[in-house]
């Protein structure tokens, strides 16, 4: 497995839309990339994401029209749909019970956190906002992990979310955030212009 310095990965990662259709990625490699993506931070550590993996001709052909017939869907070694969890508050026990059992958190502290989380999820817009913001953190981490291990990626917003949910029977608990193609690029990427720090930054006074 190729491993690169973080800043090399950061500055050399580009969005690649042309992939070698003959190049395969193993499930073990995908597993390692997804595991790294799952190390992303999230509000209350609720891990508001689910990964739906399309690997192989049959699955990728089903996805192809949903992504408006983009050729990269077919040519990529795999495609990962990033789904945001609208009901991440249901993860409280899975996340916090191990901490309680290990003596790293008191039961009372867990219960207070659970109440705060439940209160947040009663606000109308919060579940959707949290799903998008936190799942996007995992998506970026996935792309960096892929690059660090020698794979190219492209984040895709051009697809039909409702068609994706219907075709692949995705629970209404989840909301599609983006698709990410993974593969070996057939075109050399080039740096995309970035605005300067001065252009995108203000210092609060």
The CATH number assigned to the domain holding 109 equals 3.40.109.10
Domain membership of residue 78 (yes or no) is yes
Residue 187 is predicted with a pLDDT of 86
Split the chain (205 residues) into runs of 10 and give each run's mean pLDDT: 78 92 97 98 98 98 98 98 98 97 97 97 97 98 96 97 98 98 89 90 95
Name the pTM for this structure. 0.94
Q: How many domains does the chain have?
A: 1
DSSP 8-state code for residue 55: -
Residue 2 is predicted with a pLDDT of 57
Q: Phi first, then psi: give them for residue 35, nearest 5 degrees.
A: -65, -40
Residue 102 is predicted with a pLDDT of 97
Residue 191 is predicted with a pLDDT of 73
Domain membership of residue 200 (yes or no) is no
Domain membership of residue 107 (yes or no) is yes
Cα–Cα distance measured from residue 12 to residue 24, given in angstroms and rounded to the nearest whole number: 22
Residue 188 is predicted with a pLDDT of 78
Domain membership of residue 205 (yes or no) is no
Residue 3 is predicted with a pLDDT of 62
- In angstroms, the first-to-last Cα distance of the chain is 47
Residue 164 is predicted with a pLDDT of 98
- Parent domain of 177: 6-187
Domain membership of residue 199 (yes or no) is no
Domain membership of residue 192 (yes or no) is no
Domain membership of residue 204 (yes or no) is no
Domain membership of residue 90 (yes or no) is yes
Cα–Cα distance measured from residue 194 to residue 10, given in angstroms and rounded to the nearest whole number: 13
Q: For residue 184, give every residue at least 6 positions away whose Cβ sits within 8 Å of its Cβ, in sequence order, or none.
A: 19, 20, 23, 77, 151, 152
């Amino acid at each position: 497995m190729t491993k690169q310095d973080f800043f090399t990965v950061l500055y050399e990662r580009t969005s690649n839309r042309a992939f070698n259709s003959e190049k395969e990625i193993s499930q073990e490699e995908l597993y390692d990339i997804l595991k790294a993506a799952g190390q992303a931070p999230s509000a209350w550590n609720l891990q508001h994401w689910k990964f739906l993996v399309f690997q192989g001709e049959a699955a990728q052909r089903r996805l192809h029209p949903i992504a408006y017939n983009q050729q990269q869907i077919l040519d990529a070694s795999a495609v990962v749909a990033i789904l945001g969890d609208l009901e991440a508050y249901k993860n409280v026990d899975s996340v916090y019970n191990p901490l309680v059992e290990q003596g790293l958190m008191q039961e009372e502290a867990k219960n207070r956190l659970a109440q705060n989380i439940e209160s947040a999820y009663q606000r109308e817009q919060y579940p959707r906002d949290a799903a998008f913001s936190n799942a996007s953190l995992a998506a970026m981490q996935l792309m960096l992990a892929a690059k660090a291990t020698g794979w190219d990626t492209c984040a895709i917003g051009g697809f039909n979310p409702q068609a994706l949910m219907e075709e692949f029977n995705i629970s209404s608990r989840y909301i599609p955030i983006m698709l990410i193609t993974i593969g070996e690029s057939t075109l050399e990427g080039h740096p995309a212009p970035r605005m300067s720090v001065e252009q995108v930054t203000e210092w609060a006074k």
